[in-house]
Each structure stands twice: as structure tokens, then as C-alpha cells.
Amino acid sequence: MMRLARTQTLFAWLLVLAAVSMTGCKTIARTIGNPVITNNHQAAQTLIDIAGGQLDPAGRMLAASFANIDNLSQSSSFGRIASQQLVSAFAAEGYQFVELLLRNNVYVDQNQGEFLLSRTLSDISAEHNADVVLVGTYAIAERNIYVTARLIRTRDSIILASHDYAVPYTPDMRHLLRPERW
């Protein structure tokens, strides 16, 4: 009986290893853990899939903090971390982002993060030689935070990909969404 249990356990581990080798370690690692991180990483993969051949892995990209849909000049810790988590997933797939947080020639409001408003999109992207920008908005509801993430081609403001998703509105999210955290 003990030998049968060990054999079944070994067989189960072999199935897991086979699944990892068939789907790739990055995909498995990205989807385990916190549901917010998981949803943000899956959103990035969906944007990559939707954009397809229009998205050049060798091209440079910028990311803006995600904005509150009810006040587009306002972000939050959630808006900043959501954007950064999508960038992490893009980087894991080989896409190149210019890090705006390290630049001193882009206005960054400590409480709001970096915003790429449509009227300055072409100027900022030209200055940083970026082909695509990642932008997003979020709306807070009773049980979820609804997020829209978009990849926009900078030369003509065409949306290459757009994806809507939700993350659970947990006590952690309430904390990250407080308007004044500083």
C-alpha cells in the first residue's frame, strides 16, 4: 500500500514537471501567488497576445502610472504598482521599457506618479525614443477594482491592444487606493 502511494506521488510530480516544461517556467511562476499580481501579469500577457506582430520586442516602451477613471490627474499606490507589475511581466517576455522613475527630465509628482497625457504623448515618446506606451485606468467598485490597460503606438496614437480585467477590492487594495499616503 505504501509503495502504491509513493508511486502515485511520484507520478503526480512527473505530471507537474511535464506541465512546467510544456508551458514554460515563466508562465507558471507568474500565475502562482497573490491574485492582484497574477491578474496584472496575466493582463500583460493578454496585451502581448492581442498586439501580436504589431509589438516589436526590440522596440522601446514607456509605462505611465494607471489613473483613477473618475479623476484622470490622480493616481494612487495601486495605480503605480499595477503599472509596474505589468512592466515586470513584459520584461520577463523580453520587452524593453525605459524607466521613467530614474529620469529627471520627465515630470513625476511624488503623490501621483508619471502620467502620459495625450497632448504630451508624442513629445515624451520622441524624447525617450519610445515606440509604444503602456497606459491604464482603474475604477473602484464595491468588491472589485476594474482596470483597463492599453498599449498605444506613439507615432499615431493608435491603440495596439486593450484589455479589461478586475482585481479583488481587499483591505490591502483599500490601503493602496487611499488618495493621500504621504
Using one digit for the tens of pLDDT, what is the confidence trace for 68-106?
999 888 888 999 999 999 999 999 999 999 876 544 444
DSSP 110-152: TTTB----HHHHHHHHHHTT-SEEEEEEEEE-SSEEEEEEEEE
- For the full predicted model, state whether its pTM sits above 0.85: no
Nearest to 40 by CA among 134, 140, 175, 114: 134
pLDDT of residue 71: 85
- 161-165: average pLDDT: 97
CA pair distance 161, 51, nearest whole angstrom = 5
